[in-house]
Amino acid sequence: MDVTIRELADWLKGFDDIAVFGHRAPDGDACGSCVAVVLALRALGKRALACLPEGMPEFLRFLPGQDCVVSDGNLPFAPRCALAVDVSAPDMLGSNRALFENCPQRAVLDHHESNPHFGMLNHVEPGRAAAGEMALLLIEELGVPLSKDMAACLFAAISSDSGNFNYSNTTAETFETAAACVRAGADVDGITGRIYRTRTEARTRLLGLALAGLERDGKLAWTCVTNEMFRRAGALRCDTERIVNYLIEIEGVEIAALAIEQEDGGSAKFSLRSVAPYNVARDVALPLGGGGHERAAGITIQRPLREALDMVLARVREIV
Ligand code: 5GP
Ligand code: MN
Q: For ligand 1, is residue 271 a contact (CB within 6 Å)?
A: yes
**What percent of the chain shows pLDDT beyond 70?**
100
Q: What is the pLDDT of residues 15-62, one digit of tens each?
A: 999 999 999 999 999 999 999 999 999 999 999 999 999 999 999 999
CA distances (Å), origin 232, targets 57, 275, 290:
20, 32, 29
Angstrom distance (rounded) from CA 21 to CA 123:
15
Question: Whose Cα sits closest to atom 24 in ligand 1?
Answer: 298
Residue 165 has pLDDT above 90, yes or no: yes
Q: What is the pLDDT of residues 294-319, one digit of tens each?
A: 999 999 999 999 999 999 999 999 99
Question: Whose Cα sits closest to atom 14 in ligand 1?
Answer: 298
Give the model's pLDDT for residue 316: 98
**Residue 176 amino acid letter:** E
Give the model's pLDDT for residue 74: 76
pLDDT band at 124 (very low <50, low <70, confident <90, very high): very high
Give the β-pairing of 296-301 and 268-274.
antiparallel
CA distances (Å), origin 144, targets 79, 120, 158, 177:
22, 24, 19, 16
Q: For ligand 1, is residue 273 a contact (CB within 6 Å)?
A: no
**Residue 85: closest CA among 12, 144, 147, 15:** 12
pLDDT band at 254 (very low <50, low <70, confident <90, very high): very high
Mean local confidence (pLDDT), 229-235: 98
Q: What is the Cβ-side half-sphere exposure of residue 252, based on CA atoms within 13 angstroms?
A: 5
**Residue 33: closest CA among 111, 98, 101:** 111
Angstrom distance (rounded) from CA 220 to CA 241:
20
Secondary structure of residue 235 in the 3-state scheme: coil
* Cis peptide upstream of residue 277 (ω within 30 degrees of 0): yes
Q: What is the Cβ-side half-sphere exposure of residue 140, based on CA atoms within 13 angstroms?
A: 13
Give the model's pLDDT for residue 119: 98
Mean local confidence (pLDDT), 97-102: 96
Give the model's pLDDT for residue 72: 77
Question: Whose Cα sits closest to atom 11 in ligand 1?
Answer: 292
Give the model's pLDDT for residue 101: 97
Q: Which atom of ligand 1 is nearest to the CA of 30?
A: 12
Give the containing element (helix H, strand E) for 313: helix 305-319
Among all bound ligands, the one having the nearest atom to the CA of 109 is 2
